[in-house]
């Protein structure tokens, strides 16, 4: 068990090192001098040089990589070129928006998808099933930014129940914070819920057609009993995989939604940083996301073991 754990840890570390090299190299060869971007159209060569020196951009690629990667190990993400504040601090601030938003959206999508998927699977072929499947098709097809704009139009501009965007801040209270995340979370959750519902349904149906369910039914369990006692747990594995993927996606992929609602989240930070050639911020955020994906995958692996005892014993 310990050996397995250490092996996992080593592979985790290696993936992180590999990711850091790739991220750094890819961004360093991207054209665009951060200093030129910051100083605009009237800057003179000596000014540009002075700024490059200040930003530590004059070193060789290897020197810069080592200082960046070395910093990461100690939790020092460097200083943003444009904002001139520690990157770790900026990411920390933004995580307080993006993380709750991703969790909120994931919770909403789970709360919708589980009952809907189970309901559709248990009434296979009925008009409930057709209805749920039709709705999920719509949910997948509607672009979430369009749905977001529609919600702003209805709930912010016409009804005035919510503000059109922005983040009240957790200082304003938990409820105020959650309120400003509600519309974005719904917009994000809708397509996710649709996908999850479909996975839930088909996974349940697959499990329901397996031999052990037939055995259970033969022993006298009703279809519903068989489903709740035996099928559900087994059907969860693909659902958990999708949820793990969705969480990473929600954390990183909320860029458009964060722009529509002008939320000060990670997605918007990375978007601004890319256009401003704030390479160190981009590198650090991407690195963090890679880390998040790896950790989430690890957590999903653990969750597999929880729902499926066979996986636990194999280890």
Residues at the site binding other proteins, with contacts judged by CB under 8 A:
31-34, 36-44, 46-47, 50-51, 53-54, 82-85, 90, 93-94, 149, 152-153, 156-157, 160, 163-167, 169, 259-265, 268-269, 272, 275-277
Q: Which residues pair with 79 in a beta bridge?
A: 86
Q: Could you give the CA distance from residue 259 to residue 255 in angstroms, rounded to a whole number?
A: 6
**CB of 49: closest distance to other proteins in angstroms?**
9
Q: Of 264, 141, 284, 254, which is closest to residue 188 (Cα–Cα)? A: 254
Burial of 278 (0-12, 13-18, 19+ CB in 10 A): buried
- Shortest distance (Å) from residue 182 CB to other proteins: 15
CB 58 to other proteins: min, Å: 13
CB of 26 to other proteins, least distance (A): 15
Nearest residue (CB) to other proteins, 40 versus 75:
40
Cβ at position 130, least distance to other proteins in Å:
35
Q: Nearer Cβ to other proteins, position 188 or 242?
A: 188
Ramachandran sector of residue 169 (left: φ over 0; alpha: ψ -120 to 50; beta: rest): left
Show Cβ contacts of residue 307 under 8 Å, excluding neighbours closer than 6 positions: 233, 234, 236, 237, 240
Q: Do 193 and 139 form a contact (C-beta atoms < 8 A)?
A: yes
Nearer to other proteins, 54 or 137 (CB): 54
CB of 64 or CB of 268, closer to other proteins: 268
Is the CB of 34 or the CB of 78 nearer to other proteins? 34
Q: How far apart are CA 294 and CA 315, in angstroms?
A: 20
Please identify, using beta-carbon distances, which residue of 139 and 265 lies nearer to other proteins: 265
The distance of closest approach from Cβ of residue 265 to other proteins in the complex, given in angstroms and rounded to an integer, is: 7
Comparing CB distances to other proteins, the nearer of 5 and 170 is 170
Question: By the 8 A CB rule, do 23 and 283 touch?
Answer: yes
How near is the Cβ of 136 to other proteins at its closest, in Å? 26
- Crossing angle between the packed helical segments 174-208 and 232-253, to the nearest 10 degrees: 140
On the 0-12 / 13-18 / 19+ scale of CB atoms within 10 A, 283 is buried
């Amino acid at each position: 068990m310990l050996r397995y754990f250490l092996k996992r840890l080593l592979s985790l570390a290696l993936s992180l090192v590999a990711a850091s090299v790739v991220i750094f190299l890819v961004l360093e060869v991207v054209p665009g001098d951060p200093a030129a971007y910051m100083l605009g159209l009237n800057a003179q060569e000596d000014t540009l040089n002075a700024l490059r020196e200040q930003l530590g951009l004059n070193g060789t690629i290897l020197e810069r990589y080592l200082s960046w990667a070395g910093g990461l190990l100690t939790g020092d993400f460097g200083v943003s070129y444009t904002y001139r504040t520690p990157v770790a601090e900026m990411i920390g601030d933004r995580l307080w928006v993006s993380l709750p938003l991703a969790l909120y959206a994931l919770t909403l999508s789970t709360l919708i998808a589980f009952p809907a998927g189970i309901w559709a699977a248990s009434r296979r072929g009925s008009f409930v099933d057709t209805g749920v499947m039709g709705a999920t098709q719509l949910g997948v097809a509607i672009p979430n930014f369009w749905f977001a704009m529609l919600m702003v139009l209805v709930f912010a501009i016409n009804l005035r129940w919510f503000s059109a965007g922005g983040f009240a801040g957790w200082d304003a209270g938990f409820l105020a914070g959650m309120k400003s995340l509600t519309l974005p979370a719904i917009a994000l959750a809708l397509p996710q819920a649709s996908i999850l519902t479909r996975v839930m349904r088909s996974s349940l149906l697959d499990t329901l057609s397996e031999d052990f369910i037939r055995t259970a039914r033969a022993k006298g369990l009703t279809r519903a009993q068989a489903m709740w006692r035996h099928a559900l747990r087994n059907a969860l594995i693909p659902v958990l995989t999708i949820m793990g993927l969705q969480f990473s996606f929600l954390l990183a992929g909320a860029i458009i939604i964060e722009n529509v609602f002008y939320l000060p989240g990670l997605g918007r930070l990375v978007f601004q940083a890319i256009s401003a050639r704030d390479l160190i911020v981009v590198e650090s955020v991407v690195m963090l996301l890679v880390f998040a994906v790896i950790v989430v995958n690890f957590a999903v692996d653990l969750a597999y073991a929880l729902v499926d005892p066979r996986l636990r014993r194999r280890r």
